[in-house]
Amino acid sequence: MIEVEHLVKSYGQARAVNDISFKVEKGEILGFLGPNGAGKTTTMRILTGYLPATGGTARIAGFDVFEQSMEVRKRIGYLPETPPLYPDMTVSDYLTFVARIKGVATADIPNRVAEAMRMATLTERKDELIKRLSRGFKQRVGIAQAIVHNPDVIILDEPTVGLDPNQIKEVRGLIKNLAGQHTIILSTHILPEVEMTCDRVVIINKGRIAAIDTTENLTMQLKGGERVRLQVKGSAESLRETLASIEGVINVEVNPGEDSLINADVESESGTDLRARIASRVVGGGFDLLEMRAVNLSLEDIFMQLTTEEKAGEKAEVIAEEKAEEVAEEKAEEVAEEKAASHSEISG
Partner 1 sequence: MKGILAIYRRELGSYFVSPIAYIVIGFFLALTGYFFADIVGRVIEYSFRMQMQSAQFGAPPSLDAPMLVIRNFAGFVTTILLFLVPMLTMGVYAEERKRGTMEMLMTSPITEFQIVMGKFLASLTLFVVMLSPTLIYHLIIGRYSEPALPWRIMWSGYLGILLLGAGLLALGSFISSLTENQIVAGVATFVIFLLLWILDFGVRGSSTAAGEIMKYISILQHYETFAQGVIDTSSIIFYLSVVTLGLFLTLRNLDSMRWRRA
Residues that bind partner 1 (CB under 8 A): 11, 48-52, 70, 73-74, 76, 78, 80, 82-89, 93, 97-98, 100-103, 106, 145
- 301/217 Cα distance (integer angstroms): 14
Measured from the CB atom, is 100 or 169 closer to partner 1? 100
Name the residue nearer to partner 1 (CB basis): 100 or 118: 100
Distance CA 90, CA 138 (A): 11
Task: Please state, in angstroms and rounded to a whole number, the distance separating the CA atoms of residues 184 and 47.
Answer: 12
Instruction: Tell me the C-alpha distance between 217 and 200, whole Å.
Output: 9
Least separation, in Å, of the C-beta of 137 and partner 1? 17
For the bound state, the minimum distance from the C-beta of residue 83 to partner 1, rounded and expressed in Å, comes to 8
Check: CB of residue 281 under 8 Å from CB of residue 230: no
Closest to partner 1 by CB, 148 vs 211, is: 148
Nearer to partner 1, 102 or 189 (CB): 102
* 86/111 with CB nearer partner 1: 86
Pick the closer one to partner 1 by CB: 122 or 130. Answer: 130
Helix, strand, coil % over all residues of the chain, rounded to 5? 45, 30, 30
Tell me how far, at minimum, the Cβ of 311 lies from partner 1, in Å.
23
Q: Is the dihedral of CA 53, 54, 57, 62 positive or negative?
A: positive
Q: If DSSP codes are grouped into helix, strand and coil, which group holds residue 317?
A: helix
C-beta closer to partner 1: residue 52 or 180: 52
12 vs 348, which CB is nearer to partner 1?
A: 12
C-alpha angle 100/105/106, rounded to 5°?
70
Distance separating alpha carbons of residues 172 and 202, to the nearest angstrom:
18
Question: CA–CA distance from 149 to each of 74, 116, 137, 153 (Å)?
Answer: 8, 9, 19, 11
For the chain, give the number of residues: 348
Alpha carbon of residue 4 to chain centroid: 18
Radius of gyration of the chain (CA): 24
139: number of CA atoms within 13 Å, CB side? 21
Residue 224 C-beta: closest distance to partner 1, Å? 41
